Chain A
Amino acid sequence: GAVVSQHPSRVICKSGTSVKIECRSLDFQATTMFWYRQFPKQSLMLMATSNEGSKATYEQGVEKDKFLINHASLTLSTLTVTSAHPEDSSFYICSARGSPGRGGEETQYFGPGTRLLVL
């Protein structure tokens, strides 16, 4: 139990285009989903927190108009990188919490990540 998927796993796009990344909790309903960014050899940086049916809460310094988050259901959240530029190239990871499994509701379970390369 507590499986989180992400799609796509890897995407290459041209500068100026938009890219959508999906995050799904496959076997539980996620009350909250999180989006992180990870630079090479660094820790995870929280970008935003989203709850189903409400607007995402963005961390300081994260442009909400550039990183659009939609949490349409208890099992799906999407991150859209709008007008992507090379500096947006990174590894994006989502997580979900709310599992009734062994981890408890406070535990975050992570997706496998999406590697974005903007040319």
Chain B
Amino acid sequence: AQTVTQSQPEMSVQEAETVTLSCTYDTSESDYYLFWYKQPPSRQMILVIRQEAYKQQNATENRFSVNFQKAAKSFSLKISDSQLGDAAMYFCAPLQGGSEKLVFGKGMKLTVNP
């Protein structure tokens, strides 16, 4: 079964600073998709960013960007200019190869300090 590792269960960052959340995964596929979702205290899962493995260019969505290292099977999320509203659980979730299923990591709790 595919595995996803988010090695840091918790992190904190000062408002306006930058933070990087790590994620590594295991797959035998060559073409797949990777996602980062956030879950704030409301518990609504919100799509943050998505990356297609065949694209070499790292995805960017406003203050959010990824560092996708395909050979290393690493998919980290960088949040720039952190805001209080960024405080949430963040889940890394590759799409299981040849499947429709997302494989979720254990999540990482991000605290943003004012």
Residues of A within 8 A of B (CB): 32, 34, 38, 42-44, 46, 49, 91, 93, 95, 97, 103-104, 106-110, 112-113
Inter-chain contact count A-B, CB under 8 Å? Answer: 49
Q: Say yes or no: A109 contacts B105, CB within 8 Å.
A: no
Of the listed residues A44, A46, A104, the one surrounded by the most CB atoms of chain B closer than 10 A to its CB is A44
A43: chain B residues within 8 A (beta carbon): 91, 104-107
Docked CA distance A44–B43 (Å): 11
Q: Say yes or no: B47 contacts A103, CB within 8 Å.
A: yes
Interface size grouping (class) on chain B:
10 to 19
Residues of B within 8 A of A (CB): 33, 35, 37, 42-47, 50, 91, 95, 100-102, 104-107
A103: chain B residues within 8 A (beta carbon): 47, 50
B106: chain A residues within 8 A (beta carbon): 42-43
24 contacts between A and B (CB under 8 A): A32-B100, A34-B102, A43-B91, A43-B105, A43-B106, A43-B107, A44-B91, A44-B104, A46-B101, A93-B43, A93-B45, A97-B100, A103-B47, A104-B33, A104-B50, A106-B50, A107-B35, A107-B50, A109-B47, A110-B45, A110-B46, A112-B42, A113-B44, A113-B45
